[in-house]
Structure 1
Amino acid sequence: MKRFPRSVALALIATVTATVWVAGAEAGAASELRPAFVGGKLSSKFRRAESLPPNGGFENSLVGWAGYNATLSIVSPGASGAAARVVLEGAAEDFSIYPTARPVTSTAAGAVYDARASVRSLTPGLRICLRIREWAGDSVVGSAQACAMSTSEWQLLPAFGYSVVGGGHELDIYAYALSVGANDSFDVDEISLAVSAGRTPPPPPPPPPPAIGLTATAVDHAHIRLDWAAVSGAASYRVSRGALAVGTTTDTTFTDTLLWAQSSYAYRVEALSASGATLSAVSGSAATSVLPAGGFPRPFAANGVWNKPIGAAPLHPRSAALAAFFASHAINPNLTFYSYGVSVSETRPSDPLQSVPCIRFVNCTLGAFGSFRIPTTAQADPSSDGHLAIYDPVAGREWDMWQAWKSGDSWSAGAGAAVSMSGDGIAAANTASGNAANFPLLGGIVRPEELLQGRIDHALVFMMPQVSNLGRVCPATHSVGDTSHPDALKQGTRIQLDPGLNVDSLAIPAWQKTIGRALQVYGAYLRDSSSSLAIIGENPISRGYDAWALVGLGEPNAGLMRGFPWDRFRVLDAATNC
C-alpha cells in the first residue's frame, strides 16, 4: 500500500472555510456548538431533533446510502438495531459511506446544524470521522468534522455543530476512515444531521474597558512585535489578531508571524488571571513593511539542491522518452491551494512545547531535536495527507508531519522528520519523513508572496500519476511508486521547462508565467505519487487568513493549469542533481 496518498484534481478540491475538530480531534478556528451529554449519551433535546438523512439508523436496509472506495453491508446488532458495515475496496487510502442525495438542499445563512454518529472497528489504529460539508454549486465553501480512533466497542463520536456560511446552499454528511491496511472496515450507526434544537451560543461577555499601553511595531514584511506593561495579578496574556486568538504567553512581548506584506493589523492583548478571567485589555495596530528587495526569503542552503539554478546541467540520455511519458500523464494539472498542499506554521518561544509521536511509521525522526513548539494557530492540511510544516527561523530547524492530527492540546503524526534548514533538509534513507521522497515539506513549495512579487527563486516540487517503482534518484532518499514502465519518472527526478520557450508570449495567466520562469531556471523535483499532476503550494490555513485570495486566486479551481505547455519539458541527468 502506498504510504503517501494521492493529490486530487483541483476541480474537486474543496475550499474549506471552517474546519472544526472536537473532543479528541483537531481544534479549528470556527466556533463549536456542543449539545450536552447525559451519562455518555446525547441530551434529549438533541435526540428529539429530526434527523435529515433518511435511514441513518440502517434498520435492515442500506436504502439511500452508497460507498466510496467501499462495499456496504448490514450487520446486527448495531449501536441501536442494525448498522452499516463499510469495508475498504481495493488499495484506496480513504473510504466512506455517504447519502445518495444531499439531505439539506437549501440553507439559511447562520443556521446551525448538529451531527452525530456511533462507530466501531476491529481494525486497530483506524481514524474514523463524521464530516459535514456545505456546497455552493460544485464548490465546498465550509465544513466541520469530528474524529476518533477506532475501538472494538461502539462509541459515540463527539457531537458537533456547524454554522451555515450562506443561504441557498446544500449540506451533505458522510462517515469516512483513513485506511491503515488491506481489508480495513468500520461499522457505523445512528448517523444524524439535524437542525439545532433551539440551542444558541451564549452572548459574549462585555469586553473590559480598554487601557492604553500596547505598542505594535512592524519587524519586517511578515512580523509585528507587540509590547505591553505587566498587569498586577495576571498569570498570562492572550493575544488576538482581529477575532483570531494567535497565542498565549506569560511574557509582556509577543511577535505575530506569517503576515501579509504592507497590510494593517489590529491587536488586542488580554491580561488573564490564574482562573482565566480577563483582568484588563489593551489594543493597538501596526502595518507590515514591503517585501524585501532581494525577494521573499527562501529556506535552505543557497548552493543546495533547492536554490541552485540548473545552468548547463546535461539532459538525461533518454530525456525525450521520459518527457513524453510525463506529458501523457499531465492529468488535471493544478497548483495545490487548500487541499493536498503544505500548511506552514512559524514557531515562537511562547508556543506550547510538544512531544509528537508517530503512530503509523516508527522510523520517523520528529524527535531528533527533542520536543518542539507548535503554535496554537497551526492546522494540518485537511486532505488525507494532513501535511504540516513547523519551522523555527532562529534555530534553523524544521519539523515535517504527514497525517498530522491534534487531539485536545496534543499532536501526533503518521510519519515525520526533524531536519536542519542550514543544508538541504532531506531526511536520511530508511526513515519515514513527510512525503514519499523524504524531501522537507518547505522544500520547493510555491508561496503566495512569490506570486505577489512575480518571481520564484528556487526549484519547485510536483507529484504525478504513474511514478516508477524501480528505485529513486538523488536527492530523493525514499521512493513509493506504482509502475515498472521503463519511461516512468523516479522519485527525485528533476524536470525543466524548455529554456528556449518564450513564456511571456504564452496565453496563460501572469501567475502561471511566474511558475513557468522558475521551471526554466530551477526546474522541479518529483516528490510524490498522485492521481493528478500537481505543482505543490502552501495551504494558508495556519495563517488565519486566505493568502491566495490576496493574489487573486481565492476561487475554487483557480489553480487549474490546463493551458500550461506540459509538452515542452525535458528531463535532466540525475547525476547533476546533487
Structure 2
Amino acid sequence: MWNQDITAAPLHPQSANMIATWAGLGGFGNGRMQIDFGMNVVHAPLDAPRRTIVGYPYDEYYFPDCDAIGATMPVPANAAIEHSDGLSCDNESDDCHLLVVQGTTLFEAYHVTASGASGLEAQCLARWNLTANYPEQGRGDHCTSADAAGFPIAPLLLNADEVHAALSVPQGTVGHAIRFILPNPRMASDASLGGVNGRLYVRPATHAGSPSGPSGSVPYGVRLRLRSDFPMAGYSPAAQVILRTLQRYGMVLADGGNIAISAESDRYTTHTWAELGIGSRVFDQTPGARVVVPADFQVINTGPRIAETYDCERTVVADDVIFANGFQ
C-alpha cells in the first residue's frame, strides 16, 4: 500500500474543489509546508528489556482499539520518546510517541512516559506485523492506533538514510508514501453522514480524530499527490528527492497538528539531515525556489467517505498474527 506508485492513479472527482476548500481554510498548519524531525525509531535486540503498559492517568485508555493494559513492549536502554532524549515526556500535553522495531514487529505507543523502573504510562499501544499483507480495514474499522487515522507511523516517516540512498539513483525517491498532518479545523466533517459530530475518514484510514472543517475539505486518510508539473528549480538535490516522492507515492493524512511533514530524527540513522542540507524550512523558505502550496496537490480517489462511530471492530485473524494497515 504505502509503496504503491500512484503516478497514474485516478483523481477523486472532487479533487480540485477539496484542494480549493482546504487552501481557503489556511492550507498547511502554520500556513506553510514544514518538516518535523522529532520522531525516533529505535531498533531493539531480541533480548531487550520489556516494559508494561500501566494505563493513562489523564483520560481513558483506548481499548479495544489498542492492546490491553498489562501488555508489554521491548524498550532498549537507548530508546527515546518523540522530541525527547529518553523515556520522560509530558504525556498529558504532548503526543509523546514511542516507536520500537523488534525483529518483524513494530510497537507504537502514544502519550507515553516512563512509570517506575519497568512500566509505561500510555493511552495506546499498537503492534504491527511487518511481514503481513493486510485487509483494507487494517486492525479494524473505527479503531485508532498511535496515530488518529489508525495506521502505523514509522513506515510513513522520511529518514536521512533513505534520502541519502535515493541521491545515488537517477530520479530517486524514498520509495513510500509520507505521513502528513493538518489542523483538525481544516479537515472535512459532514453531519449528514451520521457519524459522531460529523466526523469521517477515507481509506486507507480506519479512524478519524476530531476533524471539524467543512465537508468540502480533505478528510482524514486522504492521499495527496504532488502535481507532475511542480517546478523543482532552486531546491537542493535532497529536497528534490522528497518532492519526487510526493509525486510518485504521495502523502497520507494521519493526524491533527501544525507541522505538515513527519520525518524520523537522525538519532539512530547513519546519515544526518544536516549532512543532506535538509531543515524544517526547506520547503517554505528555500531561496530561489517556488513555495509548495495546497494548489500543487491532487486528491487520489481511495474510496467513499466513512462515518466515524468510534465503535472499534478489531479485525479477526489467526492466533499470533497481529494485523496492521499496510506496512509493506
Q: Please, what TM-score do these two structures have when normalized by structure 2?
A: 0.72
Q: 1:491 is matched with which residue: 208, 216, 220? A: 220
State which of 374, 379, 382 in structure 1 corresponds to 2:75.
374
CA distance in 1, matches of 2:70, 2:140: 15
- 2:303 maps to a residue whose letter is A
Select the residue among 231, 249, 252 that pairs with 1:522.
249
Structure 2 segments unaligned to the other structure (5+ residues): 84-89, 168-172, 191-199, 305-324
Distance change in 2, residues 1:444/1:369 (3 Å)? farther
Match of 1:418 among 127, 136, 148: 127
Q: Provide the residue aligned with 1:440 in structure 2.
A: 152
Judged with a 3 Å threshold, the aligned counterparts in structure 2 of structure 1 residues 520 and 545 are, in CA distance, closer, same or farther, namely: closer
CA distance in 1 between partners of 2:282 and 2:97 (Å): 19
Asked if 1:361 is matched to 2:61, the reply is yes
Are 1:408 and 2:126 an aligned pair? Answer: no
Give the letter for the 1:477 counterpart: T
Report what 1:473 is aligned to: 202
- What is residue 71 of structure 1 aligned with on the other side? none
2:44 aligns with one of 347, 352, 355: 347
Give RMSD over aligned pairs: 2.8
Aligned to 2:317: none
- Mapped contact 1:336–1:534 kept (Cα < 8 A): yes
* 1:318 aligned partner: 14
2:140 corresponds, among 399, 417, 428, to 428
1:343, distance to aligned residue in structure 2 (A):
1.6
1:456–1:315 distance in 2 versus 1, CA, 3 Å: same
CA distance in structure 2 between the partners assigned to 1:496 and 1:376 by the alignment? 39
1:538 aligns with 2:275: no
Within a 5 Å distance, the mapping from 1:46-445 to structure 2 comes to 305-328=1-24, 329-330=27-28, 331-338=31-38, 342-359=39-56, 360-363=60-63, 364-366=65-67, 371-382=72-83, 384-392=94-102, 394=103, 396-410=104-118, 411-423=120-132, 426-445=138-157
**Match of residue 457 from structure 1:** 175
1:499 Cα deviation after fit:
2.0
Aligned in 2, Cα 1:362/1:464: closer, same or farther, shift over 3 Å? closer
1:512·1:564 contact (CA, 8 Å) conserved in 2? no
CA distance in 2, matches of 1:514, 1:414: 35
The verdict on how the C-alpha distance between 1:525 and 1:388 changes in structure 2, with shifts beyond 3 A counting, is same
Deviations 1:411-438 (A, max 9, x none): 2212231121123674323434111101
Q: Quick one: structure 1 residues 368 and 456, their matched pair in 2 at CA, closer, same or farther if it must change by over 3 Å?
A: farther
Amino acid at match of 1:537: A
**2 CA distance for matches of 1:432 and 1:407?**
23
- The structure richer in strand per residue is 1
Distance 1:475 1:403, change over 3 A: same
Q: Structure 1 residues 308, 369: CA separation in 2 closer, same or farther (over 3 Å shift)?
A: farther
Give 1:498 shift: 1.0
The one-letter amino acid of 1:565's match is: V
Given the superposition, is the C-alpha separation of residues 412 and 545 from structure 1 closer, same or farther in structure 2, using an over 3 Å criterion?
farther
**Whole-angstrom distance in 1 between the partners of 2:283 and 2:36:** 9
| Partner Cα distance (1:355, 1:527) in 2 | 26
| AA matched with 1:539 | S
**SS class of match (1:549):** helix
CA contact (8 A) 1:366 1:399 kept: no
The secondary structure found in structure 1 opposite 2:212 is: coil
Q: What's the CA shift for 1:472?
A: 0.4
Q: 1:365 offset after TM fit, Å?
A: 2.5
2:211 alignment counterpart = 482
Aligned residues: 263
Give the superposition deviation at 1:358: 3.5
Please state how far the C-alpha of 1:488 moved relative to its aligned partner. 1.4
User: Structure 1: which amino acid aligns with 2:105?
Assistant: R
| Aligned partners of 2:98 and 2:112 also within 8 Å | yes
Shift of 1:326: 3.5
User: Aligned in 2, Cα 1:361/1:460: closer, same or farther, shift over 3 Å?
Assistant: same
- When the two structures are superposed, what TM-score results if normalisation uses the length of structure 1? 0.42
Deviation at 1:502, TM superposition (A): 4.9
Question: What 5-or-longer segments of structure 1 have no aligned partner?
Answer: 1-304
Label 1:439 to 1:397 Cα distance change in 2 as closer, same or farther (>3 A): same
* Correspondent of 2:275 among 544, 550, 557: 550
Report if the CA contact (8 A) 1:427-1:440 is conserved. Answer: no
Which 4+ runs in 1 deviate beyond 6 A? Answer: none
More helix per residue: 2
Contact 2:22–2:218 (CA<8 Å) still a contact in 1?
yes
User: How far is 1:544 from its partner?
Assistant: 9.1
| 8 Å contact kept, 1:336–1:536 | yes
| Deviations 1:33-66 (CA, angstroms, capped at 9, x unpaired) | xxxxxxxxxxxxxxxxxxxxxxxxxxxxxxxxxx
The equivalent of 2:230 in structure 1 is: 501
1:312-354 Cα distance to aligned partner (Å, 9 max, x none) = 321111111112234441313201113xxx2211111221022
The higher radius of gyration belongs to 1
Q: Which amino acid aligns with 1:447?
A: N
The SS at the match of 2:154 is coil
Partner of 2:318: none
Inter-partner Cα distance in structure 2 for 1:518 and 1:544? 20
Query: SS at 2:100's partner residue?
Result: strand
Alpha-carbon distance, 1:546 to partner: 8.4
